[in-house]
Amino acid sequence: MLKKLFQSFRLPLRRIPHSRRTPEILSSRQHSLHRSEISRHAVSVVERLQQAGYEAYVVGGCVRDLLLELNPKDYDVATSATPEQVRAEFRNARVIGRRFKLVHVHFGREIIEVATFRANHPEEDDDASHLASRNESGRILRDNIYGTLDDDAQRRDFTINALYYDPTSERILDHTHGVHDIRNRLIRLIGDPEQRYQEDPVRMLRAVRFAAKLDFEIERHSAEPIAELADLLDGIPSARLFDETLKLFLGGKAERTFELLLEYDLFAPLFPASAAALERNPEYAGTLIRNALANTDLRIEQGKPVTPAFLFAALLWPALPARVLELQDRGMPPIPAMQEAAHDIIWEQCQRTAIPKRFTIPMREIWDMQERLPRRQGRRADQLLENPRFRAGYDFLLLRESAGELTNGLGDWWTDYQEASDSERRNMIRRLASKDEASGAPRKRRRGGRRRGPGDSAPKAD
Ligand code: ATP
Ligand code: MG
């Protein structure tokens, strides 16, 4: 045990000199968090590590959420034990890590994430350069430098995310005035905001995400540099931005998040084509995106499933018309123009937010369905109804109509058709045919005639 105590972590050879700060300590009477509210698995991980002679705390989002009487998504533990030392304490533990080495302790379906105290990055430190590195703009590429509890608090993003709770003593350790900021509902970066955003530009997205989720303000100094630094997101790997985008839009506060992303100029670096469409046609694109996000929030609130495919299909749809027209102007027939525009827009978006194939394929199907929903003659309507993507395609049609696209009552028609009996359905199809004849509409589409791309009736692209 004693040996372990001394081994608990080795400090890097040369550490950033900074004065040792003592945390504010809140006893159980000074805060509202109760030990019984914490996942018992998280408590048992902390206790086990403490018994083995290490420091260990519950930390981060879960402490913040419990103080705000919200349900934590998951539990994180911070400890002085190295990942290998943590693994040695638990049978059900696995060391994982891309950017950081972490330990996952598994309890059935619950995973407690255990991270070793880490330090901020020494700006110039050759000895540590194999552990941590930055690129030219100051972005952190790797960081596995272990440190003390105080180091660990200082390297976290926001003060409200740097609170440590010890379930044994029931005290909260507050190194950054996080409790004050929770009380005042403020998102405040720890340290110099500009530098912290440069180290990791994703913190700008996180600021907006927490502001929306918690209904907090971004503190003035933390808010100020964002718009100017927004383009730094261009340098973030697209897979990480995809993960972050899902957190932004599938956290139940997508509509508010979208407004904040616009306010801080963070939407354009994530969705360049959609941002351009918003500029060309703010009324239509803005309504369509906002309605899609409001629907997503509502579904989450009702416990219904949401798919990233529908979300991305909606976010990018307003970018299609301009692209289709461009291709048609270069002489491409309408159907191939639509296909190519869809392909190009998704491909370009993947350069920013690597959307996995399992979502891009259904996105295309939802879009393709928009071309097929108006064609209902003969057996087509019934065939469409049987298509596994019908429901998403139909919901998408209603979304387009809600944004003002004129579809000649197509949404209502499909709503009725789904509810109709077999004989009523046959009548509906027959009436369609006679309407076409009465209006002299051609049975077959003319070849090569100029059409207006997706959302034929969408307000003109520019
Ligand atoms: P939630 O899980 O509810 O989205 P969270 O605060 O738990 O919120 P995570 O992404 O799970 O967020 O991260 C856990 C903790 O790790 C955070 O509370 C914060 O202290 C720290 N952290 C996460 N990302 C960063 C970052 N980019 N820079 C600095 N610290 C970070
Ligand atoms: Mg978390």
Residue span(s) of the chain under CATH 3.30.460.10 come to 1-13+23-184
| 361 has pLDDT over 60 | yes
Distance CA 455, CA 267 (A): 23
Please name every residue paired with 110 in a beta bridge, in sequence order, or none if there are none.
107
The arithmetic mean of pLDDT across residues 60-71, rounded, is 96
Instruction: Give me ligand 2 centre to Cα 59, in Å.
Output: 9
**Which of 63, 156, 222 is the best mutation target for the ligand 1 pocket, counting ligand atoms within 8 Å of the beta carbon and taking the most?**
156
Query: In which region does residue 255 sit, left (phi positive, over 0), alpha (psi from -120 to 50) or beta (all else)?
Result: alpha
Q: Is 157 close to ligand 1, i.e. is its CB under 6 Å away?
A: yes
Q: How many C-beta atoms lie closer than 10 Å to residue 47's C-beta?
A: 13
pLDDT, tens digit (0-9, with 9 covering 90-100), for 374-429: 999 989 999 999 999 999 999 999 999 999 999 999 999 999 999 999 999 999 99
Q: Is 196 close to ligand 1, i.e. is its CB under 6 Å away?
A: no
Could you identify the atom of ligand 1 that is nearest to the CA of residue 196? 28
Q: Is 60 close to ligand 1, i.e. is its CB under 6 Å away?
A: yes
In the prediction, which pLDDT does 436 show?
A: 67
The arithmetic mean of pLDDT across residues 101-128, rounded, is 81
Nearest to 167, CA basis, from 65, 103, 72, 78: 78
pLDDT, tens digit (0-9, with 9 covering 90-100), for 174-188: 999 999 999 999 999
The arithmetic mean of pLDDT across residues 349-371, rounded, is 97
User: Which residue's C-alpha comes closest to atom 18 of ligand 1?
Assistant: 60
Q: Report the sign of the C-alpha dihedral through residues 151, 153, 156, 157, in that order.
A: negative
The arithmetic mean of pLDDT across residues 279-292, rounded, is 97
Ligand index nearest the alpha carbon of residue 64: 1
Q: Is 157 a catalytic residue?
A: yes
Q: Determine the residue type at 82.
A: T
Instruction: Give me ligand 2 centre to Cα 73, in Å.
Output: 6
User: What six digits make up the tokens of 155?
Assistant: 């390297």
Instruction: Give me ligand 1 centre to Cα 179, in Å.
Output: 16
| 135 has pLDDT over 90 | no
Could you identify the atom of ligand 1 that is nearest to the CA of residue 247? 4
In the prediction, which pLDDT does 20 show?
A: 54
| 167 has pLDDT over 80 | yes
Q: Is 118 close to ligand 1, i.e. is its CB under 6 Å away?
A: no
In the prediction, which pLDDT does 452 show?
A: 44
In the prediction, which pLDDT does 432 show?
A: 87
Please name every residue paired with 96 in a beta bridge, in sequence order, or none if there are none.
102
Q: How many C-beta atoms lie closer than 10 Å to residue 279's C-beta?
A: 11
| 77 has pLDDT over 50 | yes
The CATH topology of domain 1-13+23-184 is Beta Polymerase; domain 2 (3.30.460)
Distance CA 401, CA 394 (A): 11
Instruction: Give me ligand 2 centre to Cα 225, in Å.
Output: 25
Of 43-47, 94-98, 106-110, 383-387, the range with the lowest mean pLDDT is 94-98
CATH superfamily to which 268-440 belongs: cca-adding enzyme, domain 2 (1.10.3090.10)
Beta-strand ranges (E) seen in 9-138 are 24-26, 56-59, 75-79, 93-96, 102-107, 110-116, 132-134
Q: Is 76 a catalytic residue?
A: yes
Please name every residue paired with 102 in a beta bridge, in sequence order, or none if there are none.
96
Distance CA 75, CA 65 (A): 11
The arithmetic mean of pLDDT across residues 287-303, rounded, is 98
pLDDT, tens digit (0-9, with 9 covering 90-100), for 4-26: 433 333 334 334 344 457 899 99
> What 3-state class would DSSP assign to 428?
helix
Q: Is 214 close to ligand 1, i.e. is its CB under 6 Å away?
A: no
| Longest distance between any two alpha carbons in the chain, whole Å | 93
pLDDT, tens digit (0-9, with 9 covering 90-100), for 438-453: 555 554 444 444 444 4
Residue span(s) of the chain under CATH 1.10.3090.10 come to 268-440
pLDDT, tens digit (0-9, with 9 covering 90-100), for 199-253: 999 999 999 999 999 999 999 999 999 999 999 999 999 999 999 999 999 999 9
Q: Is 231 a catalytic residue?
A: no
Instruction: Give me ligand 1 centre to Cα 211, in Å.
Output: 14
Among 74, 192, 215, 462, the one annotated catalytic: 74
User: Which residue's C-alpha comes closest to atom 9 of ligand 1?
Assistant: 61
Instruction: Give me ligand 2 centre to Cα 61, in Å.
Output: 5
DSSP 132: E
Neighbours of ion ligand 2 (CB under 5 A): 61
User: Which residue's C-alpha comes closest to atom 1 of ligand 1?
Assistant: 61
Ligand index nearest the alpha carbon of residue 178: 1
Mean residue pLDDT of the chain comes to: 88
CB 1 within 8 A of CB 53: yes
